[in-house]
Amino acid sequence: MRTTGNTVLITGGATGIGLALAEELVRRDNAVIICGRRRQRLLAAKKQIPELTIRVCDVSRAASRRALVRWITSKFGKLNILVNNAGIQRTVDFRRGSRDLSDADEEVATNLTAPIHLSALLVPHLRRRKHAAIVNISSGLAFTPLAVVPVYCATKAAIHSLSLSLRFQLRDTPVRVFEVAPPIVPTELSGSRHRPEEDEHTLLPSAGHN
């Protein structure tokens, strides 16, 4: 994949892996747009990396995704790379019944539904570019799950499967599909639930994978 001269959209790009990736891509002379649900985090990222373009978007919500796609395709016609990075990870103990599942739909919507729909919405645009790519941020937990975060692991297993299918379906187009499983990274932990900031990836220190 060409790593310079691209126009890149990174979901969940205000913190964590997304922000680090944005910084490196800017350094390599790419135009980078990041989105996230928290304006203050986006503004902080913009202050750190002035070259970034920022956009408030909750990718877990269909209307917000559609608005993002309309905006970015009208403002950035050269967009040729989508990085599906936004993610949420929470602890769930099924021995407690459904008590830990109050936010499970949001976790699935952010980690899995959003990449599915954003990819589908942007593929027609990406197919018109000479060089294009979809990059899905996956995890080693897709292959060796950590039982304390079962919904997260299940969504990452699904992202792996989705990436394989997308790659096959788009094999005769200019759109390449990549799956990235980063190593363990330090992130924020809070309370009894393991809930990272909404648009970054993380895992428990004992996991050994991301």
Bridge partners (DSSP) of residue 179 are 136
Bridge partners (DSSP) of residue 177 are 134
Contact 21, 34 (CB under 8 A): no
What does the angle CA 107 – CA 165 – CA 19 come to, to the nearest 5 degrees?
45
Contact 11, 85 (CB under 8 A): yes
Catalytic residue among 59, 108, 132, 152: 152
204: helix, strand or coil: coil
Cα separation, 103 vs 28, in Å, equals 38
Side by side, the strands of the sheet bearing 53-56 are: 53-56, 31-36, 7-11, 81-84, 132-137, 175-180
Which residue in 155, 84, 76, 160 sits closest to 118, CA to CA? 84
Can 82 be counted among the known catalytic residues? no
Cα separation, 75 vs 142, in Å, equals 35
Q: Which residues are catalytic?
A: 152
